[in-house]
Amino acid sequence: MTPSTRQTKIANLIREHDHLTVNELADTLNISKETIRRDLSELARLGKVQKFHGGASVPVVAGEGPFRDRMGKNAAAKMQIADAAVKLVSPGETILIDTGSTTLYFAEKLAEIPNLTIVTNSTKIARVMSADPTPARTFLLGGEFYGDNRQTVGSMAIAQVQSFRAHHAFLTIGALDTRTGVMDYSIEEAQLARAMVEQAESLTLLVDSSKFEQIASFEVCCLDKVTNLVCNDPPSDTMEAALLKANINIIVSGR
């Protein structure tokens, strides 16, 4: 196991449990306590964990309340989705990424690919993508700042998106159904996602199965705009038929 892979596992375990001791991490991963301590020091330097005597916890900069809760919810599924989605990206490409717990897991995998250009409205994703060992050229969109999600939204962010062209847009979503397509619960996030879709050559949705056959208040785009859908569980027969009719490439992680 490489140091990068091991540290990602440690960070994800801490997110799932909120806090863990060195002993608990060493027993879970069958790794020496000395190695765990070194990894926690490196993760703390990168802002991915917050150390305390004998262990580490989710950092304060990860946010409180809803977003922090989402990072721990369905964490295993989100990690699988990230592992599958990163295979769609090649070195040297330009990527648009919106704010979300799944896209943050994805960014941590994406950071291993060299020579990327990243455009995002998430300060967390910008921090991950600009960190060592393979820092990407990273553009953080300006606009109205939302503290919980640590994201920018609004007309300023949308105007800046329109100055980029990208190979891919990777989005998390609020809901997906066969009638409307892609939806979100926030009008500001839906508007920004819509702008990202228009500026990208391909659109990939990172979706855990709880979003299938649901509706949300604000439309992002129809199914015909979607290139790839990466999910942890296969959709129902009805949903799958609609996705295939729209020529969407369905990727079920873990298969």
Per-residue pLDDT of 97-153, as tens digits, reads 999 989 998 998 898 899 999 999 999 899 889 876 678 999 999 999 987 788 999
- Cβ atoms of 140 and 168 within 8 Å: the answer is no
The top-scoring range by mean pLDDT among 47-51, 60-64, 194-198 is 194-198
Note the pTM of the prediction, 2 decimals: 0.78
Go through the domains of the chain in sequence order and give each one's CATH number: 3-62 (1.10.10.10), 67-252 (3.40.50.1360)
**How many other β-carbons are positioned within 10 Å of the β-carbon of residue 24?**
16
For residues 99 and 90, give the distance between their C-alpha atoms in angstroms, rounded to a whole number: 21
The type of residue at 225 is K
Show the DSSP H helices in the chain as ranges. 3-17, 22-29, 33-45, 66-72, 75-85, 101-110, 123-129, 155-161, 187-199, 237-245
Contact 115, 89 (CB under 8 A): no
Q: What are φ and ψ of residue 64, in 5° steps?
A: -110, 170
SS3 27: helix
